[in-house]
Amino acid sequence: MRYDIAIVGAGPAGASAGLFAAKAGKKTIMFDHGKSVTKRAWIQNHYGVKDIDGPDLIRVGQEQATQFGAELKQEEVTNIVKTDSGFSLETENGTYEAKYVILATGVTVDLAEKIGVATKPGSEPRIKKVLDLDDKGETSIKGIWGAGTVADVSMHTIITAGDGAKVAINIISELNQERYVDHDFK
């Protein structure tokens, strides 16, 4: 099956990107390997949420994305290969095709470096390397984007979630060939 957008990582940045992409009608798949550092968090500084633990925040975010049609696979992406029409993502269970890829891999750049994405030193404490991105969030490989902590934004979940949304909107805008805006009205 071919997807418009494949998201590697389904924590706050990845699930937020998945939510915006799926809500915009883009065929979206998210991959979660279950090792997010957010799963160990207790969050009391997230706008609009009194307090929540990390596993619940991830669960709710993933549920929001799947509610709008994003698919969620509990699989680890082990390789990404450029194809004539986008990318092939390899997991332990199969191969998936997508036009665009978002790397929302949290504190690790291992997959990015394996596939040749440029990295640079991180600016956050304890984050040694991050993706080297342009202002919109695209990596050194056209069609592969980065969001969240791996994109060198603050590790706070509300900030990484916002970055995931920003990157998704930039990709949606590119797919639509016009600026995409998502507003909900009652």
> What's the chain's length in residues?
186
Q: Which of 100, 117, 89 is nearest to 31 (CA)?
A: 89
Domains held by the chain: number: 1
Q: What pLDDT score does 165 carry?
A: 96
| Domain membership flag for residue 184 | no
User: 182 in a domain, yes or no?
Assistant: no
Q: Compute the distance between CA of residue 91 and CA of residue 142 in angstroms, rounded to an integer.
A: 21
Sign of the torsion formed by the C-alpha atoms of 124, 157, 32 and 166: negative
Tens-digit pLDDT profile for residues 16-68: 999 999 999 999 999 998 776 665 565 666 666 777 777 788 888 899 999 99
pLDDT at 44: 61
- Say which CATH number the domain at 91 has: 3.50.50.60
Tell me whether residue 122 is in a domain.
yes
Spatial contact of 6 and 85, defined as CB atoms under 8 Å apart? no
Quick one: pLDDT band at residue 96, thresholds 50, 70, 90? very high
Q: Is residue 31 part of a domain?
A: yes
Residue 167's nearest CA partner among 3, 1, 2, 12 is 12
What integer pLDDT is reported at residue 50 of this predicted model? Answer: 74
Q: For 153-173, how does the pLDDT look when each residue is reduced to its tens digit (9 = 90+)?
A: 988 777 888 999 999 999 999
pLDDT digits (tens, 9 = 90+) for 106-119: 999 999 999 999 99
What burial class does residue 52 get, using C-beta atoms within 10 Å of its C-beta: 0-12 exposed, 13-18 middle, 19+ buried? Answer: middle
Q: What three-state secondary structure class fits 32?
A: coil
Quick check: is 73 in a domain? yes
Domain limits for position 100: 2-176
Domain contains 185? no
